[in-house]
Amino acid sequence: TQRDDDEVDLCVLHHLPFGHHTGTGWEIESKWSVERLHIPPDMFNKGLDLSWFDCDAVIPIHGCFLAWVDYYQGMLLVDVLHADVDPHLRFIPLPTETLLSFRVYLDEGLPDPARCVSVTDSGIIKLVCIITGTSPSFTIATWTLVDMDHGVWEKDGTAMEDSQFWGLYAGQSLPQVQPSFPVVSLVDPDVICFLLKEEDNNNFWMIEVNMRTKVLESSAIYINEEEEERYSSKKTPRNFFYGHYFIPSKFSEYLEKDAITR
């Protein structure tokens, strides 16, 4: 939370490495800590505008950093585990080319459909932008953060225009529309998942594209709950899908029986 023009508060919830038994099971003990972080003046010279900073995503990096990402400004970075020793925020602006575009999707609290910053399982940080124009109607471009200390982004040589993207369908009956909500694969940094929405109805397709080999690796249509074979017309639909919120996660790794000991 912002305290003033040159300080913010970082609130961290710590899970203690022990707990206590309640009679029915183990209960983990936790506590909060608040660290006051300083904003170096040179961050504003790099283009940071806190008054217009929208947090599109929060991503963990290398096991100790957290990054708050504004898809149209850059990343605010802090070493959460050592914030008491080095109480400074860092700012990594996005590539210059991406700063020439403005946010067009203004619904507060909803994800941006044209941009994404993701971290792969091996720690590679990727930026994906769907850039719109008159001709071509869109271009998909990606960048890799090759030097986090100096904030250096390198543009990947894998850009793809609309005709090339639709050419990947190879006869499949997928809608020729602008893709949205890109998500980088946790396993392969060259593979990006996209959402396709048919213009005449509410059908959504999820596809995987390898940007380097230019191959459509998989596709699947989203099936609404009421369309399933065993769905009863008397039931009230519980799950409403609005075409976003595809979040890659390693959360399932912690759903083991001995997770309490980890």
Q: What is the pLDDT of residues 56-103, one digit of tens each?
A: 888 888 888 889 999 999 999 888 877 777 767 889 999 999 988 888
**Residue 196: both structure tokens together:** 């396709």
Extract the residue ranges of the chain whose pLDDT is less than 70: 1-5, 15-28, 87, 105-109, 223-262
* Burial of residue 112, with CB atoms counted within 10 A of its CB: 0-12 exposed, 13-18 middle, 19 or more buried: buried
Question: What span, in angstroms and rounded, lies between the C-alpha atoms of 196 and 163?
Answer: 15
Query: What is the CB neighbour count within 10 angstroms for residue 20?
Result: 8
| Residue 8, SS3 per DSSP | strand
Cα 191–Cα 197–Cα 200 angle in degrees, nearest 5? 160
The tens digit of pLDDT for each residue in 35-51 reads 777 777 778 778 888 88
Which contacts (CB < 8 Å, 24+ apart) does range 238-241 have?
A: 241/204
Q: How far apart are the first and last CA of the chain?
A: 30
